[in-house]
Structure 1
Amino acid sequence: MRRFSMTAGWVAAGVCIAGPAFAVDATQVGRRSGYNEATVEGGLDVRLGLGGFTGELGDETGVGPLFGINANAQPYPLIGVEAGYEGQRVPIDDGRVGDGEGVWRNNGTLLGKLGPVVNQKWRPFVGVGLGLSYLNPSDGAEGVYDNDWQTELPIAAGLDYRFGNLFAGARATYRLVGGEEIVTVPGTDEDAKGSLFNGNITVGGRF
């Protein structure tokens, strides 16, 4: 026990001595990577667009409108992050349900973005992230379409143009979808599979 206590004492002393050194090293890493807390930008944007499912899910549904709102930050010159909500109504084109029905999609996504600033105004970017959606069919589609949670892996590409503290842009996002159990393929007991493709325009501000 005494030997253990002495060893623990030496370890604690080493941590106390090494702690400031690690803190200095972390600061140096931040500076070298371009991170500067004073220049980190944040902002909000809203987006409007269209999109729909692909694959077997796309065979039974159509293209629907979407609305999104996002909070974003630019901690490094080339790296940005955003988190937000996206709502969408995907129309149903399925002979098993009546006309005018649809699926409401409510989504939350966290996305990392990579891209340079060109001429202090243009920012082309690519991004990848993780999302989760809740799918809720309209009343007339219930019994054929079920409520469902689906995971999403979004892959995005776009272009933003900045003028002052405002910006406008356009992007396309392809989402790999998992856990599809909202509807079966007609005439079978198999769940319909597919991905999701959306395109939208964006307006927002930085502060």
Structure 2
Amino acid sequence: MRRISMMAGVVAAGVCVAGQAFAMDATQVGRRIGYKEQDLKPGLDVRVGLGGFTGELDNETGVGGLFGVNAIAQASPLLGVEVGYEGQRIPIDDARVRDGQHIWRNNGTLLGKLGPVIKNKLHPFVGLGVGLSYLDSSSGSEPIYSNDWQTELPLAAGVDYRVGSLFAGVRGTYRLVGGEELTTVPGTTDDAKGSLFNGNITVGGRF
């Protein structure tokens, strides 16, 4: 029992020391890159862009526009987080259904972002997160296309430029997709597979 208590004490002490060291390192990094405490302010952004499916799903669908709204926060000089909604209309280009059909994608995503805010202006970053989408196929595409829930693992990279409390940026997001039963590969009963790639521009502000 004493050994366990001693080990727990050593671990706790190690965690405290490591935590203090990390905080000091983060502060030093923040000073070196011109990070300011006001960068911790939360904010909102809106984004527009284009994108679509890859792989087998790309063969029967097209490129569609998207719109998103996100809440954002910079938790430290290097780490940020955002959570939000993204809506996208993806056209269907499939000989098995009549023209003019589409898929509405309604998505919620939680994304962690890693990257420095340089001189309080330039913010390059990479991101990793989790997302869930509901795919709502137009009635004219049934029964070839179904409504479906789709899990997503987004991988993002981009850069923001800040002017005071306002910012603008560009990014690309590649989403690994799971659980898709949206449609089948033509001539087979196999589910069509693919990922999702979107590119967009962003404008927003911190308050």
Is the structural similarity TM-score above 0.5? yes
- Residue 34 of structure 2 aligns with which residue? none
Q: Over aligned residue pairs, what C-alpha RMSD do you find? A: 2.5
1:48-59 pair list within 5 angstroms: 48-59=48-59
SS of corresponding position for 1:168: strand
Unaligned runs of 5+ in 2: 31-36
Please state if 1:149 is matched with 2:162.
Answer: no
Unaligned runs of 5+ in 1: 1-6
1:13-162 pair list within 5 angstroms: 28=20, 31-32=23-24, 34=26, 39=38, 40-162=40-162
Cα distance, 1:26 vs structure 2: 8.6
Code of the aligned partner of 2:189: D
What is the TM-score normalised by the length of structure 2? 0.85
Please state if 1:195 is matched with 2:195.
Answer: yes
Cα distance, 1:28 vs structure 2: 3.2
Judged with a 3 Å threshold, the aligned counterparts in structure 2 of structure 1 residues 24 and 187 are, in CA distance, closer, same or farther, namely: closer
What is the TM-score normalised by the length of structure 1? 0.85
SS of corresponding position for 1:45: strand
The 8 Å contact of residues 125 and 159 in structure 1, kept in 2 or not, is answered as: yes
* Identical positions, percent: 67
Code of the aligned partner of 1:142: E
SS of corresponding position for 2:182: coil
Judged with a 3 Å threshold, the aligned counterparts in structure 2 of structure 1 residues 54 and 74 are, in CA distance, closer, same or farther, namely: same
Structure 2 Cα separation of the partners of residues 161 and 81 of structure 1? 17
Code of the aligned partner of 1:179: G
Q: Count how many residue pairs are aligned between Structure 1 and Structure 2.
A: 197
- Give the greater-gyration-radius structure (CA): 1
Code of the aligned partner of 1:181: E
The 8 Å contact of residues 82 and 112 in structure 1, kept in 2 or not, is answered as: yes
Structure 1 Cα separation of the partners of residues 185 and 42 of structure 2? 44
SS of corresponding position for 2:42: strand
Cα distance, 1:23 vs structure 2: 10
Cα distance, 1:139 vs structure 2: 1.1
Structure 2 Cα separation of the partners of residues 87 and 202 of structure 1? 14
